Structure formats: C-alpha cells, structure tokens
Amino acid sequence: MAQFARWTNLSETTYVLPSAVADYRLRIFTPGGEIPFAGHPTLGSAHAWLEAGGIPHSTCSCWSADLGLVTVRRASPA
C-alpha cells in the first residue's frame, strides 16, 4: 500500500478493508507513509463505500483506523 502511494505521488491514497469491529477499516497513506487520520480522505472514502453498496450497521457508518473508531453520519437530503 505504501509503495503504491509513493508511486502515484498523490497527496492521500486510501484503502477500504474489512473490519471485525466496524463497518470497514480505512488506511490512509501519503507518499511519505501511513497517517492515522485525515478529514477529506475520510469523507471521500465513506461516500465511495456507500455508493459502492456499503451498508452501515446503523444510521451512520463506523470505521476503524489507527486512531480508533470514527463515526460518519450522512445528512438527510434537503
């Protein structure tokens, strides 16, 4: 994962993986290495996961990272 992030040289590269304690596990890499949390990659990955058919266990999606458990809530359409 780190090697691919260095090769693409993108500011952040995310990987959505299975988790035993949450809806999914998110790993975030920069060209310099793995980071425990970043806001924009978190929201973008949650959106992509939902659009790809991810089904949260409750009204929000919960994912695990090195930081711990993080909850992302989807706003109701206006």
pLDDT, one tens digit per residue, over 35-71 is 999 999 999 999 999 899 998 887 777 777 777 888 8
> In the predicted model, what is the mean pLDDT of the chain?
88
Q: Where are the alpha helices (DSSP H) in the chain?
A: 2-8, 39-51
pLDDT of res. 65: 75
C-alpha distances out from residue 24 to 31, 36, 39, 42, 50, Å: 23, 15, 16, 12, 11
Yes or no: say if 42 and 27 are a contact pair by the CB < 8 Å rule.
Answer: no
pLDDT of 5 above 70? yes
Best CA proximity match to 61, nearest among 27, 19, 32: 19
pLDDT of res. 77: 63
> Where in the sequence numbering do the catalytic residues fall?
12
User: The whole model's pTM is what?
Assistant: 0.85
Yes or no: say if 16 and 28 are a contact pair by the CB < 8 Å rule.
Answer: no
